[in-house]
Amino acid sequence: MVMTCFSCFFGEQGDSSARRTREIDGVLSVLQNVKLYSYKELRIATENFSPANKVGQGGFGFVYKAKLKDGTVAAIKVLSAESKQGVQEFLTEINVIANIQHDNLVKLYGCCVEESHRILVYGYLENNSLAQIFLGHSSIQFGWHTRRRICIDVARGLAFLHEEVQPHIIHRDIKASNVLLDKDLRAKISDFGLAKLIPGSMTHISTRVAGTAGYLAPEYAIRGQVTRKADIYSFGVLLLEIVSGRSNTNRRLPEKDQYLLERAWYLYERGGLAELVDSSLNDDLNLDEACKFIKIALLCTQDMPKIRPTMSTVVEMLSGDKDVNDMTVSKPGLLSEFMGLKGGGDEKDKVNTKYSSDAVFVDSGKTSSSGMDTSIATMTFNSIYDRSN
């Protein structure tokens, strides 16, 4: 059902307003399960976007906790003002996202598109993001059973996006802060659909890179090839973080320990994976299972995308329905090596990389991939919020 507040679109008067209304009419007729909120309603729900209600800030803008007029508690993501995307395109995308529903995906209730405002309204998750595991000042105890369940929850959510949604969705920014936890510490993936949606027939063409350094598969960061396998790589990095209780990169550690994936591979080759498991885990730790999870993470991050398992296979492996004992793992793809940061890099693969906060922007120039252009990576809402059809 389309629930609408028509007046919220009338930011302008005259001909352009009439044309815009006709355009919006077209989109509204296809909207399903999307609630449209007025700016005023969201302003009231957040007590005038009060800093006290601010729960976070990301690359897109601020996130507020809000109490909607029907009593529902929501998370309101106010997209930054640079968003120039038209109402029509915006609503079309929102419609797609709002109709993707799964226990392990954060629910999008609707949005506000009044005048230049672009605000997303999501279900609120009480226990913040998974990133808190690594920050060490959380009061929550993330024991092994909780972590194990979180890993499987995330894998299920991603398998759903990859294998059940048609056309499938590549998340493109799987990372700890995009995994949110509800009151029972069940995990849900957030921000899916904010990246490009790829039709099933186009399996490895991308126009832009949108992701976070440390989680990026080399083939995606360097050549802009976005496939489900790039998400699976990021999932592998996340899995390592959950089992080890540390973030993928920590420059304060001795050099040999700074990059988690490199360290995992080093220990795997020497039969010492147990060393990577979070030392704060004790009571309910199942060390064999934790080491198995690290091995699965290494399978997900193998250099060659083709041999990384699919997410449904990963779910089977994590939940014990598929044995990984006899599987051989090949060397992970390490962006630092590709980039020549650690020596041994090939000139032709050198790219111009800029870091801005924790997002990586790779300008691979104009290269051709299966006859289509890849171009400069940007991270504005507009740029990664388009859909390729």
Ligand X SMILES: Nc1ncnc2c1ncn2[C@@H]1O[C@H](COP(=O)(O)OP(=O)(O)OP(=O)(O)O)[C@@H](O)[C@H]1O
What residues numbered 189-228 form the site for Mg ion, per CB under 5 A? Answer: 191
To the nearest whole angstrom, how small is the minimum distance from the Cβ of residue 74 to ligand X?
8
- Compare residues 234 and 302 and give the one whose CB is closer to ligand X: 234
Pick the binder of ligand X from 46, 104, 146, 190 (CB under 6 A). 190
Q: How far, in Å, CA of 201 to CA of 191, rounded?
A: 23
Tell me: does residue 245 bind ligand X (CB under 6 A): no
Asked if 177 and 80 count as a contact pair (C-beta separation under 8 A), the reply is no
**H or E, element range at 224:** none
Stretch that binds Mg ion, among 105-113, 156-164, 186-194, 361-369 (CB under 5 A): 186-194
Tell me: does residue 59 bind ligand X (CB under 6 A): yes
Tell me: does residue 262 bind Mg ion (CB under 5 A): no
To the nearest whole angstrom, how small is the minimum distance from the Cβ of residue 175 to Mg ion?
8
How many residues make contact with ligand X (CB under 6 A)?
Answer: 22
Is residue 153 annotated as a catalytic residue, yes or no?
no
* 3-state SS class at 119: strand
Pick the binder of ligand X from 53, 99, 128, 312 (CB under 6 A). 128
- What value, to the nearest 5°, has the Cα angle with vertex 102 and ends 36 and 190? 65
First to last CA, the chain: 25
Omega of the bond leading into 51 within 30 degrees of 0 (cis): no
Residue with tokens 């998340």: 171
Q: How far, in Å, CA of 348 to CA of 338, rounded?
A: 10
What residues numbered 42-81 form the site for Mg ion, per CB under 5 A? Answer: 58
Rg (CA), the chain: 21
To the nearest whole angstrom, how small is the minimum distance from the Cβ of residue 56 to ligand X?
2
CB atoms within 10 A of CB 227: 22
Give me the residues that bind ligand X (CB under 6 A), please.
Answer: 55-60, 63, 75, 77, 106, 122-125, 128-129, 173, 177-178, 180, 190-191
Give me the residues that bind Mg ion (CB under 5 A), please.
Answer: 58, 178, 191
Active site residues: 173
